[in-house]
Structure 1
Amino acid sequence: MANFVLVAGAWLGSWAWDEVAPALREAGHGVHPLTLSGLAEKQDVPVGPGTHVRDIVDEVERLDLRDIVLVGHSYSGIPVGQAAELIGDRLARVVFVDANVPAEGESFVSTWWEGPAKLESAIAGSDGVWAPLTEADCEGQGLTDDQITRIVAGATPHPGASLADPAVLPRPLGELPATYIKCLLDGPEPTADVTELLRSERWRLVELDTGHWPMFSRPADLARIFLDSAR
């Protein structure tokens, strides 16, 4: 049986996986949703260089987990991709859910699709944090009104230090066994860096006809993809 370590994206905590985790547990797997420092119930935990990568590696080592399927959604693909390289033979597979992926020396901010300056300005204008999601941010993503309300109500400011943290990769990311889940309502094609990684024989693409937060909009389908990745 696998151990799923689930890491949600910006603004979210372990609670984001509440509708996905039961199906994984019912299939006999270990399930370990993780809240990163500075978010949700860990809002008061300070964040500096490498904090989110260490959060993941420390949790794996604290629980002495093996046969790990390490899941990163959105922003969290960046620390998850780095952590996956550090946990060695404990890793079975890494799954990126409509996620950013790390590149050596680059950060979430430096690769922001609207330009680094825009995101840097937004963080600076919010006292060093990225302001939480609004209802408008969630529109057009296959979510019900209740699901949008839940996301917005649970979202917390995201620590800007983690977003500007340059990635460190001991080896090429394409060497990892990986699944990339592309959520089609958030754009029909993976980004150029992901497309390049998908050329690796160790990576595979799975498309899901929903928006950027499938743990809310399509939790059963997302769980099935996770279970397939563990086989």
Structure 2
Amino acid sequence: MVNFVLVAGARLGAWAWDEVVPYLRAAGHGVYPLTLSGLAEKQAVPAGQQTHVQDIVAEVERQGLRDVVLVGHSYSGIPVGQAAERIGDRLARVVFVDSSVPTDGESFASVWPDGGAGVKASIAENGGFWPLVPAAHYDGEGLTDEQIARLVRGSTPHPGATLTEPALLAGVLGELPATYIQCLLAGAELDDDVAELLNSKY
């Protein structure tokens, strides 16, 4: 039995894991879906990149968890990867689900092909937040109409500073016990930063 701390991607909260939680609990695991600051029910809380890292570390410590599997989806792979480094021997494994991975000194936005210019412009135009996406954003992702409606209904604008502030790593991410799950709907090719992480491990 391990303890899963589940962190969803940009604009989402702990609710995004509602369909996953029962399966993990039925298998006998501890399950702790987490909403990051500035999102969902914590929408009013100011947040930067390191706020999100601390949210994850604090949840592990608050719950007194050991044998922790940190799971990060999409954007949240960046704070999850940093938190994995900081929880020390509490960590059993970090799992990146079709996610970004942290690179020391780089932000979520900076690794985009345009260097993050589009993301930064969108944040500037929307009061410091990355805006919501329409239902059409989820076309072709194998989701039902009901699932798409739930994503649109539950999403909140994402605090921009978490996307533009750099990750801070003390060591080499590839030295952590890690699994990367690449969803084929996202394409067969890995991002350069993900390929580098995998190549450092195998």
TM-score (norm 2): 0.97
Give the Cα–Cα distance (whole angstroms) in 1 for the partners of residues 160 and 13 of structure 2. 16
Give the Cα–Cα distance (whole angstroms) in 2 for the partners of residues 76 and 48 of structure 1. 13
Aligned to 1:138: 138
**Partners of 2:49 and 2:163 within 8 A in 1:** no
- Percent identity over the alignment? 67
Shift of 1:188: 1.1
- 1:4 is paired with a residue whose SS is strand
For each residue in 1:168-218, what CA deviation from the matched residue of structure 2 results, as whole angstroms up to 9, or x when unmatched? 10100100111101011111121111112112346xxxxxxxxxxxxxxxx
Give the Cα–Cα distance (whole angstroms) in 1 for the partners of residues 25 and 146 of structure 2. 25
Aligned to 2:195: 195
Structure 1 92/144 Cα, relative in aligned 2: closer, same or farther at 3 Å? same
Aligned to 2:104: 104
Matched, 1:93 2:93: yes
Shift of 1:48: 3.1
- 1:96 is paired with a residue whose SS is strand
For each residue in 1:140-173, what CA deviation from the matched residue of structure 2 results, as whole angstroms up to 9, or x when unmatched? 1111111111111111000001111100101001
Alignment of 1:43-82 (within 5 A): 43-82=43-82
Runs of 4+ in 1 over 3 A off after TM superposition: none
Aligned to 2:147: 147
TM-score (norm 1): 0.85
Taking only aligned residues, the RMSD between alpha carbons, in angstroms, comes to: 1.1
Shift of 1:114: 4.4
Structure 1 161/201 Cα, relative in aligned 2: closer, same or farther at 3 Å? closer
**Partners of 1:9 and 1:76 within 8 A in 2:** yes
Aligned to 2:175: 175
Instruction: Note the residue ranges of structure 1 that are not aligned, 5 or more in a row.
Output: 203-231
**Partners of 2:138 and 2:148 within 8 A in 1:** yes
The amino acid that maps onto 1:71 is V
Q: How many residues align?
A: 202
Shift of 1:112: 2.1
Give the Cα–Cα distance (whole angstroms) in 1 for the partners of residues 70 and 36 of structure 2. 14
Shift of 1:49: 4.9
Give the Cα–Cα distance (whole angstroms) in 2 for the partners of residues 98 and 48 of structure 1. 22
Shift of 1:61: 0.6
Give the Cα–Cα distance (whole angstroms) in 1 for the partners of residues 166 and 31 of structure 2. 29
Give the Cα–Cα distance (whole angstroms) in 2 for the partners of residues 147 and 89 of structure 1. 37
